[in-house]
Amino acid sequence: MLNIDCPWCGKRHETEFRYGGEAHIARPEDPAKLDDAEWAEFLFMRTNTKGYFAERWLHSHGCRRWFNVIRHTVTHEIVGSYKMGEKPPKLPKSAGGAK
């Protein structure tokens, strides 16, 4: 069970949250300009990092707000959470392969 730090409510059990997958996938500025390969990239292709990973969580049974978390996908260590639009926290020194 993960203990996740909501930037508004503090540390809560994973069961209060919903997962939102990879963070920082920007909506296309001009959707009409995208070709099929670019749409596939935006909609479906995912980085699926083995290592430190930036991901979105929704505090669905709490403040109902979205935020980002940096978590290691092998150890499940959580480095920190940050609000949408904020800069991610610094990664530990050993961090390899983080995206």
Residues near Zn ion (CB under 5 A) are 6, 8-9, 59, 62-63
In whole angstroms, give the CA distance from residue 20 to residue 55: 7
- 3-state SS class at 2: coil
Decide: is 5 part of the binding site for other proteins (CB under 8 A): no
Least distance (Å) between residue 92 CB and Zn ion:
25
CA dihedral (73, 78, 84, 85) positive or negative: negative
Phi, psi of 71 (to 5 degrees): -135, 150
* Residue 40 in contact with other proteins, rule: CB under 8 A: yes
Residues that bind other proteins (CB under 8 A): 1-2, 13-15, 18-19, 21-22, 36-37, 39-41, 43-50, 53, 55, 71, 73-76
